[in-house]
Amino acid sequence: MNLKDAIIALYNAKPDKYSSADRELFETFIESLDRGEIRACEKTDSGWQVNQWVKMGILIGFRMGALTEYLWSEKKSFFDKDTLPEKVFQLKDQVRIVPGGTSIRKGSYIAKGVTIMPPAFVNIGAYVDSGTLIDSHALVGSCAQIGKNVHLSAGAMIGGVLEPVEARPVVIEDDAFIGGNAGIYQGIIVQQRAVIAAGTIITASTLIYDAVQGEFLQRDSGGSFTIPERAVVVPGSRPLKDTAFQLYCPIIIKYRDAKTEESVKREEDLHIFD
């Protein structure tokens, strides 16, 4: 039985007690996830596809694990499932992690050339590709997919999702820029080179207006929204029908141009990647 079929069978069995063989299966699974050999969500010819069996495997780890003490230092401990330790890096991994409280869970993939500023948190199942910067106080949620050369500014929140297993996680594609204190949640896809301005919150339940096209975005096949390639999104509002009130509404004010490139480059120049 291959890894996928074995994980699905164990997930559906829901045993009262897990055997040593079950533990070995989970260890094989999480090591593959940790190395980026399998992913909770990946791009195919027909778009982003959720690999439900991978999310099942992560959930097995939560079911199987027992609360244990991990020593952080001589005076500090943390307490988590014994199946879900912190990710361990070596110099050969070529990931730059600046000291100061960052925590990355085992079972997340961090590619070479990633820079992580403190404190940041990357959850299990997340995939962070090369050249990306995760700035201070940023979150990459469980199973979130982050592309190459993405800039997650300070305080950016990239939501994660484990259940239901068919739910799509947030996807940030290559060369996107996510501004400070922005929040991207509920299966939103931010396509390549899009710019999300500081303080912008985007969810599956919040309508998004494209001022360039003069229309609201339609929900995609995943039941959420796809921010178009090179779109520049800022916080905005729309009138609440028959009242004097306004509802929050992110607005695409333009598509990335030379002025946007200059602004993004200025922000990135504040950080040293190499």
Least confident of 152-156, 166-170, 201-205, 260-264: 260-264
Task: Inform me whether the pLDDT recorded for 64 exceeds 80.
Answer: yes
Query: What is the Cα–Cα distance from 151 to 23, expressed in whole angstroms?
Result: 37
Write down the mean pLDDT value for the chain: 94
Query: What CATH fold (topology level) applies to the domain 86-267?
Result: UDP N-Acetylglucosamine Acyltransferase; domain 1 (2.160.10)
Going from N- to C-terminal start, the domains of the chain cover 3-66, 86-267
pLDDT bin (cut points 50, 70, 90) of residue 267 is low
Greatest Cα pair distance, the chain, in angstroms, is: 63
pLDDT tens digits for 206-258? 999 999 999 999 999 999 999 999 999 999 999 998 898 999 999 999 998 86
Query: What CATH fold (topology level) applies to the domain 3-66?
Result: 1.10.166
Predicted confidence at residue 13, as pLDDT, reads 97
Predicted confidence at residue 260, as pLDDT, reads 66
Task: Inform me whether the pLDDT recorded for 40 exceeds 80.
Answer: yes
pLDDT tens digits for 136-186? 999 999 999 999 999 999 999 999 899 999 999 999 999 999 999 999 999
Task: Inform me whether the pLDDT recorded for 71 exceeds 60.
Answer: yes
Task: Inform me whether the pLDDT recorded for 126 exceeds 70.
Answer: yes
Domains 3-66 and 86-267 share a fold: no
Are 83 and 38 contacting, i.e. CB atoms less than 8 angstroms apart?
Answer: no
Predicted confidence at residue 241, as pLDDT, reads 87
Work out the average pLDDT over 38-50. 96
Work out the average pLDDT over 107-116. 98
Work out the average pLDDT over 256-264. 71
For residues 200 and 242, the model is more confident at 200
Task: Inform me whether the pLDDT recorded for 55 exceeds 90.
Answer: yes
Task: Inform me whether the pLDDT recorded for 72 exceeds 90.
Answer: no
Its pTM stands at 0.93
